[in-house]
Amino acid sequence: MTALPRIAIFISGTGSNMEALIRAMRRGCWAVPALVVSDTARAPGLRRAQDLCVPTRVITQNPDIERVLSETAIDVICLAGFMRILAPSFVRPRAGRILNIHPSLLPKYPGLNTHARALDAGDSETGCTVHLVTEAVDKGFILGQRRVPIRNGDTSEILSERVLKEEHKLYPDVLRRFARGYGCATGPLSAA
């Protein structure tokens, strides 16, 4: 029997995407939610992870990330609202095995304040993207997207809520497909 891929989810905040990923993995048994890492002890997502019985770690220094990964035998990392930019020396050897979700239709609006920027531009639609993480922020290979209409009277908050609902469908869908092809990966990320 082939072992299921072990997933670490990196968060900094609410963790609603993290929860969607954990629930989907648990429901379908296609991957193991092995670890949740936060770069701040104040992230509300930590409590959510604990309630879902997933081990959590708070890590504020890059070398500590390396150590925790080696202790936990992680195959794939999912960034889900993780606000720290990972060092190129961390990302480069793990290329193709770190995913991120971004609240815009990349390549449009990389970076922050995506909903305000879409509204300011008068766009009629926006959306969300799951992509591979590379050294260039929000520029990696796109694995999946979902479109969301922008309606008259929308604010950033309204749009953020509408997009977030789609994120919760997109990220588990993409990770499930990704995990299926994981057999071509080469071993635990700690060995990178």
172 binds ligand GRF (CB under 6 A): no
Helix segments in the chain, DSSP class H: 16-28, 44-51, 62-72, 88-91, 114-120, 156-180
Binding piece for ligand GRF, criterion CB under 6 A, among 11-19, 27-35, 89-97, 117-125: 11-19
The single residue among 48, 102, 115, 131 that binds ligand GRF, judged by CB under 6 A, is 102
81 binds ligand GRF (CB under 6 A): yes
75 binds ligand GRF (CB under 6 A): no
Q: Using CB atoms within 10 Å of the CB of residue 66, give its burial: 0 to 12 exposed, 13 to 18 middle, 19+ buried.
A: middle
Tell me how far apart the alpha carbons of residues 72 and 33 are, in angstroms, rounded to a whole number. 11
17 binds ligand GRF (CB under 6 A): yes
Residue 22 or 189 with smaller CB distance to ligand GRF: 22
Q: Using CB atoms within 10 Å of the CB of residue 159, give its burial: 0 to 12 exposed, 13 to 18 middle, 19+ buried.
A: buried
Query: Which residues here bind ligand GRF, judged by CB under 6 A?
Result: 11, 13-18, 45, 80-81, 101-103, 128, 164, 167
